Structure 1
């Protein structure tokens, strides 16, 4: 089977000839183990359409600037099948870890265009997260997956490849499957999923990663995988806090996990057992001089939670309006050593005075600037 490819636009960091060679090499990863052949065309229609583009670009899947989303692709039998989009604003490189390696990302995306979904098998090209590895090669899982769809090369001594009747069908109601790749996030250009003071240090969470600040300074080696500290933690967390007994709670979707230090002691457990609704928890705040008040936030409401009884004090929530000046929807919350509370939404934060019981003047401010010493940005979420 011969498939055509075309490159619409190129990344600014790389000369076109290198990009073409890299795209050819990324496609060759798949043609080496299947009967597929790929030919680049300069104009006209093509089976695979490659574009380097920015922010909103016509498919309702906007890019987000440097870091975060690297690329996405559309599966066969979707309305944009064959389209592969790369974020123009990434630092694209070839063969090194100084930026984002185009070869590995492209090969992964072409796997999706050909019909492969993500795999849970570690060190596979089709694993869901980008990690720089050289040389590029397929795992046995990658190879078996693509050969299930297209069979083995015609020169293969085994003459009986599996010949599928149909490619995988999308399982979303919109009849569209896309893939979003996550690089190691950049604290200067990201919004955080959760934040908490744990063992006297401040932790910020995004996707699988965590940043660790001690006395206001980012520690060396961060961001790091959160699983480095808490093995078995979900791939991303919605909220977290450390209770007065030193247990660390993590929330994801409608479940929670409890850790004693780095050891998991329970979970996943449904949050409805805590008296909370089944909707995801957005933030959790340990509050008060004795740090004995814990508040859970979700959907513009909040509950007071008793960790000893492992139940909310009242199943009926209160409105966020009680926290004067705090936006109704938040992403994370934590308390500092002086008793001030911090509420995060997008890339902004609000500092809440426990004496005046309201947000201080001059907020919101940017998380990246005040906690990570980044250059002020004008594109903060509001």
Structure 2
């Protein structure tokens, strides 16, 4: 059986993002909050979660990801800036400034790229190396971005109006390097694919499968869609959507947004976190739920699996789905779940 505990020093305001390091030997994770801080934690072998650093920003931080190692993070901030931060020294470098709040930031180790998306309907593509000979490139989007996710070869941008753009990272890297002299380095890069979401309501989150086969998206209306990158008719016929995160109240199904999706790095199953305070584990291939965990005190805000797949960290914050706008005690918290060997594994047929 798995063991779960909450950490002693959570953020003081709503949590916007939580990401583990991609280093399989590490249990370090970063948390972004509306209290204007990024928190760096590490889970120890004796079931302790230590707060290693707390890095202040000028405005609420909406996203965070690790860079080339455990000492480097990138942040997306409501002050319009994208920052590279060295955790041990607190040294901060502004990579670029958008024209509105920055919603997401992701790092591609394979292609040496840092990619941010902001509410000015642009994507900025930055070289991960400070010594790179090309500047930040800007790509205009057709709609405001809501969520970004990377696989080893693709970038998925989920936007308003149920639009999704899929870019090939190798193409992005090549075009950016070739266009260093373009006017203000604004690139007219066509996405590899343009898609319309299979879900009828606004997209809330997207996450790519660890094997680079496809992605899952979620909506504000308690549904998840699973899709494959391969554009062939055969692969596209495999896509499907399902209902989830609904709670019966007085014989009526109350529908909650699915705020977070996280694929397991080893087994390829995925977790969903809803406004109902529930985390569920799903088998994307078998199209079935593997398990559901006990309801938590408030809405699931963010989730992440450790790179070795043995820990699931879950952040909760009030989503105000119940109409109450005050912060109740215990409504902002981070839970660490130590996963059993077969807990999130696909079931044998």
Quick check: TM above 0.5? no
* Greater share of residues in strand: 2
- When normalised by structure 1's length, the TM-score is 0.34
* Greater share of residues in helix: 1
- When normalised by structure 2's length, the TM-score is 0.37
Compare relative contact order (CA 8 Å, sep 6+) and give the higher one, 1 or 2.
2
